[in-house]
Every structure is written in structure tokens, then in C-alpha cells.
Homo-oligomer: A and B are copies of this chain.
Amino acid sequence: MQFDYSNVLEERIGRFGLQQSELINSTKILKDIKDQILKRKTYDYFALNLPGIMLKEVNEINSYGEYIKENFENFVVVGMGGSSLGNKMLHYGINGLYYNDKSTRKGPKIYFMDNVDPDSNTELLNSLDLKKTMFNFITKSGSTSETIENFLLILKLFKQSNIDFMKNITITTDPEKGFLRKFAKENSISSFSIHPLVGGRFSVLTPVGLLSASVEGIDIDKLICGALKKESEINNTDPLISEAFLLPLIQYNLFKNKKININVLFTYSDGLSYIGDWYAQLLAESIGKEYSRQGEQVFAGITPLSARGTSDQHSILQLFMEGPYDKLIIFLSPYSYRNDENTGTVLNSSDETISYLENKNYTDLIKSEFLATRLSLTRKGRPNATFKVNLLDEFELGSFIYALEYSVLVLGELFNINPINQPAVELGKRYTYGLMGRKGFEKEKAEFFHLAKGKDGFIIK
């Protein structure tokens, strides 16, 4: 894995660049943060210990994965946020967009139910042969509204079809607490545990993300080993030469000194671009925090944007090139791809608008476009950094995931906020409970109607 940050430096991009010296001068701060993280690893940042812990659980997950492979045609991940974004990242990243259509596929088809959209959910459920489908309900708390709604509905559909659903369900949740854990125990349903100290957005390297990965033939052993290697590497390396410290230092300094409030993850791959959605939660939910400093309210947060090359060159690149200087662009350039094809010389055209594309590979064009786009942005003085990493290799992908998780905790320390909670989403949940008639939330219901009432005076038509 290479991390090239030369294009965030003033000497390369001018006015919106950072000085090499300000990075070097942060050595002490980063070392303190490293110590702090090491201390907090036993509790707050427990997720950083996952590689070592999961190494022992990989066999159990793989053997259950084998059972599912042999007995089911479909595998549906039912989970919200951190209970599906990591799964999607591994699925589309390693196995591509068309895995379900592949004749060479050796496991069941994989689907994701990460919403309560009345259309897509019912359309998916209608297209599946329930008897041959394994549903993996994933919820840390055991009571996420959307996941429970889907759970109840799927139970109903099994009942209506007179299928004993107990064998078609796997539950991944807290080891002790919550409705789904109780349900699993009472009904002897297969289940996996999420360690109570591991938050949703840090849970991809637990049974949350690993079971579906195993079911679709992803080498989860390598994934964990890659993460483990990165853990040891970070621990044994000077922070200033580790991407897990340098990336957040750059993100923070650009935010603080240059008012850069948007970070783009620009991935040159269709499948791997789902890393952007996973990282969006990691960055947004970890760093987006309001707090009080010396009596004044401060609002921390960097907005993640996911872009896909080359496609988005034809959509938002114009803004990146000429719009406000409010973005750091983080390129993800894969070393290699699984496949390639050559255009051949079918037309043997003398038309120079097309002849340069004859006898060329896809990789020639996608790599040239990446290099050309990066140079153009650099010439326009736009801060950008590049991860060059073989993300199709589970070992490297595991390393990369661990490095990004670690980097977000460093960023939290730099912002001096708590990167592992998400207090603000509670308010919306309480109003939802109120509107859905849940007992104990009558006050929220009343408050909703009081506040919403008669306030629609500015509606057009």
C-alpha cells in the first residue's frame, strides 16, 4: 500500500497547500495521540483489538459459511448502516457488480435489505424462493426499527408459506442484550455476537461483515491477517510515516487552516467505489460532533463525498476543478483489476478521434484517465492525495480497512471530540417511536404534533 500526499503540499499546489514543516512540527502531537489511543484501546477504542480476537473466530464463521453455501441459493443481509455498509464494501469490492449473474459463482446469490422502502423490499422478497433463502439479521442493539420491521414481515411470509423459518435465519447481535438475542436463545436459532464495545461503523471485521463475506467465498482469514499486520505496523512505526496518522493530520489541518470541509474518496473502480459509502459513515458519524469549548458551541465535522472514476469525471469533476477550494480529494487507485479486454483493431480506422483507442486495454484507458485527472487537479492547485493499493487482495483490503478505522480515531483526537458515539440520532428515533405509537413515547408524539402543527404556511401548491 502506498500513500502519496505530495499534492497537498504548498510547494506543489500553492495557496491551499500545507507546509511540510507544519506536518513535521506535529510529531509530538501525533506521538501523544498514539499513546492516548493505546490507552483507550482497552475500552473506548476496543475495536482496534479486533484482528487478534477475530483470528480465533474465523474458522467457526467459515464452517457456518460452508453450511450456508451448501444449503441455500440466496443469502440476504438485513441490516442498517454499519450492519450492511461493510458487507456491501466487501461484496462489490472483491466480487464485483455482477456476482449474482456469474455462472462461475460458487455460493448463493447475495442481497442486501438496508431500508424499509416498500417497493424495493417487497420486490426483492417476491423474487426469492424463501425456502432456499437464508436471512442474516444484523443489529447491534437487537432492536433497530427497520431491521425489526423486516424481521417481523419475513417471519410472516415464512408462516404464510408454511415453512419452518428457524433454519432460514441467522442472528448477529449483542451477546446478551436485546430482543433478537432473546429470540435466538428461545428458539435455538443460529447466532453470532458483536462485542458490546464495538460500534456499528467499526464492525466490518466482526461476524457482522465476515459471515456474508465467507458465504460468497471471500478469504476472511487473509482479511483479518491483513488487518493484524497493519495493527502491528502502526504500533511499531513512527506516526509521521504511517498513513493512519498522516491522512487525519492532513484532513484536520486542511479543515482548520484552509476551511476545507469536504473530503472526496475518488475510487477508480465500480465495485471498489462502495468503500466510499462505508468510509462516509465512518468519517461522518465519528467526526460530526457538536461540543462546548470554553462556553462556546463548536461544530466539528468533515463531509464525505464518494466519487467513482472515470464516470464522475463526466459529472462532478468540473466542480472539483473550478468550484470553491473546499475539498480534499483522496484518490483510490487499484494496482490491478481482475480482468481486462483489448479493443483489437476491428475498424483499423484512420480517424484520429478513435484510432488511438484501437488495440488498447481497458486498464490503459482507466489508468491514463486517473493520472490525467490527478495532474489536472494538481495544476489547478487542488489538494489531493492517493492511495495506491491492491484492494482486490483480501490481505491488502484488510490492511486498508484497519488503517482507515485507525485514522478516523486519530482524527477524532485531533478534533478533540468523541469519535465513537452518535448522540444526535437519538432525537429522530424518539420522534419515530412517538409517531409509530410506541408505549412510553407519548410525549414525543405530542411534541411532534405541537411543533409541526399549522407550520406549513410556506408550501407552494
**Among A166-174, A221-229, A313-321, which stretch is in contact with chain B?**
A313-321
Q: Which residues of B contact A101 (CB under 8 A)?
A: 123, 127
| Copies of this chain, tallied across the complex | 2
- Determine whether A163 belongs to the interface, using a CB cutoff of 8 Å to chain B: no
- Determine whether A337 belongs to the interface, using a CB cutoff of 8 Å to chain B: yes
Instruction: Tell me if A315 and B118 are in contact (CB < 8 A).
Output: no
Q: Nearest chain-B residue to A309 (Cβ)? A: B115
CA distance A174 to B461 in the complex (A): 38
- The 8 Å CB contact of A3, one of B98, B432, B459, is B459
CA distance A133 to B365 in the complex (A): 25
Q: A343-B152, A431-B376 are in contact. Are A97 and B120 (CB under 8 A)?
A: yes
User: Which of A85, A262, A288, A338 has most chain B Cβ within 10 Å?
Assistant: A288
- Segment 120-153 of A: residues with Cβ below 8 Å from B: 120-125, 127, 142-146, 148-149, 152-153
- Determine whether A38 belongs to the interface, using a CB cutoff of 8 Å to chain B: no
- Determine whether A209 belongs to the interface, using a CB cutoff of 8 Å to chain B: no
Q: A80-B314, A98-B127, A281-B316 are in contact. Are A119 and B301 (CB under 8 A)?
A: no
Q: How many whole Å from A380's CB to the nearest CB in chain B?
A: 7
- Segment 319-355 of A: residues with Cβ below 8 Å from B: 319-327, 337-344, 346-347, 349, 351-355
- Segment 99-119 of A: residues with Cβ below 8 Å from B: 101-103, 114-119
Instruction: Tell me if B127 and A102 are in contact (CB < 8 A).
Output: yes
Q: Which residues of B contact A284 (CB under 8 A)?
A: 315-316, 318-319, 323
**Among A29-37, A51-59, A190-198, A419-427, which stretch is in contact with chain B?**
A419-427
Q: A118-B363, A270-B119, A460-B2 are in contact. Are A424 and B322 (CB under 8 A)?
A: yes
- Determine whether A289 belongs to the interface, using a CB cutoff of 8 Å to chain B: yes
Instruction: Tell me if A315 and B85 are in contact (CB < 8 A).
Output: yes
A171-188 CB mask vs B (1 if < 8 Å, else 0) is 000000011001000000
Instruction: Tell me if A341 and B271 are in contact (CB < 8 A).
Output: no
Instruction: Tell me if A314 and B81 are in contact (CB < 8 A).
Output: yes
CA distance A309 to B425 in the complex (A): 13
Q: A366-B118, A424-B321, A452-B375 are in contact. Are A438 and B352 (CB under 8 A)?
A: yes
- The 8 Å CB contact of A427, one of B149, B315, B371, B379, is B379
- Determine whether A67 belongs to the interface, using a CB cutoff of 8 Å to chain B: no
Q: A102-B127, A123-B102, A365-B145 are in contact. Are A327 and B341 (CB under 8 A)?
A: no
User: Which of A316, A351, A355 has most chain B Cβ within 10 Å?
Assistant: A316
Instruction: Tell me if A458 and B338 are in contact (CB < 8 A).
Output: no
Instruction: Tell me if A96 and B114 are in contact (CB < 8 A).
Output: no
Q: A127-B101, A326-B303 are in contact. Are A288 and B318 (CB under 8 A)?
A: yes
- The 8 Å CB contact of A343, one of B156, B277, B288, B322, is B156
CA distance A376 to B426 in the complex (A): 9
User: Which of A341, A371, A431 has most chain B Cβ within 10 Å?
Assistant: A341
Instruction: Tell me if B280 and A433 are in contact (CB < 8 A).
Output: no
Minimum-distance CB pairs A-B, first 10: A301-B323, A81-B314, A288-B319, A372-B431, A321-B424, A356-B438, A288-B323, A118-B362, A290-B322, A284-B319
> Could you write out 17 A-B pairs with CB less than 8 Å apart?
A5-B460, A6-B457, A80-B310, A97-B124, A115-B309, A122-B341, A153-B342, A156-B346, A159-B346, A246-B460, A284-B319, A285-B315, A300-B323, A305-B305, A371-B431, A375-B448, A378-B451
